[in-house]
Amino acid sequence: MTTTMDRRSLLTRAALGATGLVAASAMGSLAPEAAFAAQSPDAGQPDPNFAEGVITGRNQDLLQVQGSDGRLHRIQLTGVTSVWKLRPTTIDQARIGDGLYARGVLLPDGILAAEAIWVNIVNLTVAITAIGRNGVQFDHHGQKVVGHVQSGTTAAVYNGTPAVSDLSMLKVGRHAQVIGAWRPGTNEIDIATIYTSN
């Protein structure tokens, strides 16, 4: 069984380049689902093992991130970092201008060794305003958001049923929750999963 200290130690070594993919198998699952806080903060407090913001620089696998609150983060991607950008992908897909959320282990030098990053991910509660051949338009708190359907990726969940690629049961006027990937600098997203209401 992997302990918190095991994960911290392995991530630290991975961040230093001492391990790499070998560490992946030692840690077990490295899917985003497996990325958990090493130490939980008190309720209401910021989590030092979590970061969000926009990527402003990249030096190999070290990301410089400008937090929305003004803080600067340095986030180290490693061979054991899981990456989501519309779908599970590789660390080279994190690019300057992208927004992200990251969870990992904050090292003594202030670098966050990332267990998982979610690039451009959004979770929007919307109303469906139009449905087209290749996309769906939404109203998000009065703002228009254009959702693009990505063949092979976009799925719909109709009131808790298993996700399917068939979007034909979407209806204009219904509310929905959309997990997607924002296209930086636009009001457009690529749709990963759309959950529809009654």
Least separation in angstroms between CB 139 and another protein: 12
For residue 17, state whether it binds another protein (rule: CB under 8 A): no
- Nearest of 189, 191, 181 to residue 151 by alpha carbon: 191
Least separation in angstroms between CB 198 and another protein: 6
For residue 165, state whether it binds another protein (rule: CB under 8 A): no
For residue 3, state whether it binds another protein (rule: CB under 8 A): no
Q: How far apart are CA 67 and CA 110, in angstroms?
A: 14
The residue type found at 6 is: D
Q: Given candidates 114, 124, 156, 191, which one binds another protein under the rule CB under 8 A?
A: 124
Least separation in angstroms between CB 183 and another protein: 9
Q: How far apart are CA 57 and CA 83, in angstroms?
A: 17
- Nearest of 71, 90, 93, 72 to residue 81 by alpha carbon: 90
Cross-strand pairs, 101:
52, 118
The residue behind tokens 């068939």 is 166
Instruction: With CB under 8 A as the rule, give the number of residues binding another protein.
Output: 53
SS3 135: strand
Distances (CA, A) of 112 to 28, 46, 105, 165: 20, 14, 6, 36
For residue 121, state whether it binds another protein (rule: CB under 8 A): yes
The interface mask with another protein, positions 56-95, x = CB under 8 A, is -----------xxxx-------------x-----------
Q: Regarding beta strands 143-149 and 188-196, do their DSSP bridges make them parallel or antiparallel, or are they unpaired?
A: parallel
Q: Given candidates 24, 27, 106, 179, which one binds another protein under the rule CB under 8 A?
A: 179
For residue 132, state whether it binds another protein (rule: CB under 8 A): no
Binding-site ranges for another protein (CB under 8 A):
31-33, 35-37, 40-47, 50-54, 67-70, 84, 99, 101, 103, 116, 118, 120-125, 140-141, 143, 145, 159-160, 175, 177, 179, 182, 184, 187, 189, 192-193, 195, 197-198
